[in-house]
Chain A
Amino acid sequence: MDARFWLIQAFNGISYGALLFLVGSGLSLIFGVMRIVNLAHGSYFLLGGYMALSVIWVTGSWLLAIPVAALTVAIIGLLMERLFLRPLGFDPLRQVLLTVGFAFLFQQAALDIWTGNPFDIEPPAALTQSVVVGGLHLPLYRIFMIAVAVFIGLTLWLVMEKTRLGATIRATVDDAQMARGVGIDTSRIAMLIFALGAFLAALGGVIGGAFVGVYPGLDFEMLPIAFAVVIIGGMGSLGGAAIGALLVGLADNFGKALFPEISYFTLYAPMALILAVKPTGLFGRE
Chain B
Amino acid sequence: MAPLRMKVLIVIAILAAAALIVPHTNPFVILLATRALAFSILVMSLDILLGFTGLASLGQAAYLGVGAYLTAILAARYQIGLGYDFWLVAALGMLGAAVLAALFGLLAIRASGVYFLMITLALGQCVWGLAYRWNSLTGGDNGINLQHRPKFGIDLADQVTFFYVVFGFFAASLLIMYTLVRSPFGRSLAGIRERELRMKILGYNTWLHKYIAFIIAGAFGGLAGVLWVHTAGIVSPENVVLTTSVDALLMAVLGGPGTLIGGVIGASVVLFIREYLSTLVHWWQYVLGGVYVLVILYLPGGLMSIPGRIRQWRAARSEAADTPNLAPARQ
A94 at the interface (CB under 8 A from B): yes
Interface residues of A in 84-115 (CB under 8 A from B): 84, 87-88, 92-94, 96-98, 100-102, 104-105, 107-108, 111-112
Residues in chain B near residue A220, CB distance under 8 A: 241-243
Q: How far apart sit A261 and B133, CA to CA, in the bound complex (Å)? A: 5
B122 at the interface (CB under 8 A from A): yes
Which of A31, A98, A100 has the largest number of chain B CB atoms within 10 A? A100
Residue of chain B at shortest CB distance from A37: B114
Q: Which one of A93, A107, A261, A275 lies within 8 Å of B285 (CB-CB)?
A: A107
Residues in chain B near residue A96, CB distance under 8 A: 56, 114, 117
Shortest Cβ gap from B65 to chain A (Å): 13
Choose, from A2-10, A195-203, A221-229, the stretch at the interface. A221-229
CB <8 Å contact, B133 and A108: no
B126 at the interface (CB under 8 A from A): yes
Q: How far apart sit A105 and B290, CA to CA, in the bound complex (Å)? A: 7
CB <8 Å contact, A101 and B289: yes
Residue-wise, chain B 28-66 has the 8 Å CB interface mask toward A (1 for contact) of 000000000000000000000000000010000000000
B108 at the interface (CB under 8 A from A): yes
CB <8 Å contact, A263 and B250: no
Residue-wise, chain B 221-257 has the 8 Å CB interface mask toward A (1 for contact) of 0000000000000000000011100100110010000
Known: A39-B246, A267-B129. A100 touches B292 (CB 8 A): yes
Shortest Cβ gap from B243 to chain A (Å): 5
CB <8 Å contact, A272 and B126: yes
Residues in chain B near residue A126, CB distance under 8 A: none
Residues in chain A near residue B107, CB distance under 8 A: 272-273, 275-276
Residue-wise, chain B 110-152 has the 8 Å CB interface mask toward A (1 for contact) of 1101110111011101101110111110000000000000000
Residue of chain A at shortest CB distance from B243: A220
A265 at the interface (CB under 8 A from B): yes
CB <8 Å contact, B297 and A268: no
Interface size range of chain B in the complex = 35 or more
Shortest Cβ gap from A217 to chain B (Å): 9
A282 at the interface (CB under 8 A from B): no
CB <8 Å contact, B289 and A265: no
Residue of chain A at shortest CB distance from B59: A272
Q: How far apart sit A100 and B152, CA to CA, in the bound complex (Å)? A: 42
Shortest Cβ gap from B162 to chain A (Å): 30
CB <8 Å contact, A98 and B134: no
CB <8 Å contact, B288 and A104: yes
CB <8 Å contact, B133 and A265: yes
Residues in chain B near residue A193, CB distance under 8 A: none
Q: Which one of B111, B126, B285, B288 lies within 8 Å of A111 (CB-CB)?
A: B285
B293 at the interface (CB under 8 A from A): yes
Residue of chain A at shortest CB distance from B104: A272
Residues in chain A near residue B115, CB distance under 8 A: 275, 279
CB <8 Å contact, B123 and A100: no
Residue of chain A at shortest CB distance from B106: A276
CB <8 Å contact, B296 and A94: yes
B300 at the interface (CB under 8 A from A): yes
Q: Which one of B56, B121, B253, B297 lies within 8 Å of A227 (CB-CB)?
A: B121
Residues in chain A near residue B128, CB distance under 8 A: 264
Q: Which one of B108, B282, B286, B292 lies within 8 Å of A97 (CB-CB)?
A: B292
Residues in chain A near residue B78, CB distance under 8 A: none
A52 at the interface (CB under 8 A from B): no
Residues in chain B near residue A261, CB distance under 8 A: 133-136
Residues in chain B near residue A224, CB distance under 8 A: 121-122, 125, 242
Residues in chain B near residue A88, CB distance under 8 A: 296-297
Shortest Cβ gap from A65 to chain B (Å): 26
Q: How far apart sit A262 and B126, CA to CA, in the bound complex (Å)? A: 9
A271 at the interface (CB under 8 A from B): yes
CB <8 Å contact, A97 and B241: no
Q: How far apart sit A284 and B126, CA to CA, in the bound complex (Å)? A: 23
Residue of chain B at shortest CB distance from A280: B115
Shortest Cβ gap from B91 to chain A (Å): 27
Interface residues of A in 233-254 (CB under 8 A from B): none
Q: Which one of B118, B241, B286, B300 lies within 8 Å of A231 (CB-CB)?
A: B118
A124 at the interface (CB under 8 A from B): no
Residue-wise, chain B 277-313 has the 8 Å CB interface mask toward A (1 for contact) of 0000011011011101100110010000000000000
Residue of chain B at shortest CB distance from A93: B56
Shortest Cβ gap from B283 to chain A (Å): 7
Residues in chain B near residue A231, CB distance under 8 A: 118, 122
CB <8 Å contact, A108 and B118: no
A158 at the interface (CB under 8 A from B): no
Nearest 6 pairs between A and B by C-beta? A264-B129, A108-B285, A101-B292, A105-B289, A104-B289, A276-B107
| Contacts A108-B283, A224-B242, A261-B136 supplied; 9 other A-B pairs, CB < 8 Å | A92-B113, A96-B56, A96-B114, A223-B242, A224-B121, A276-B106, A276-B119, A279-B110, A279-B119
List 9 contacting pairs A-B, 8 Å CB cutoff, sorted by A: A35-B114, A105-B285, A107-B285, A262-B134, A268-B123, A271-B125, A272-B119, A272-B123, A275-B118
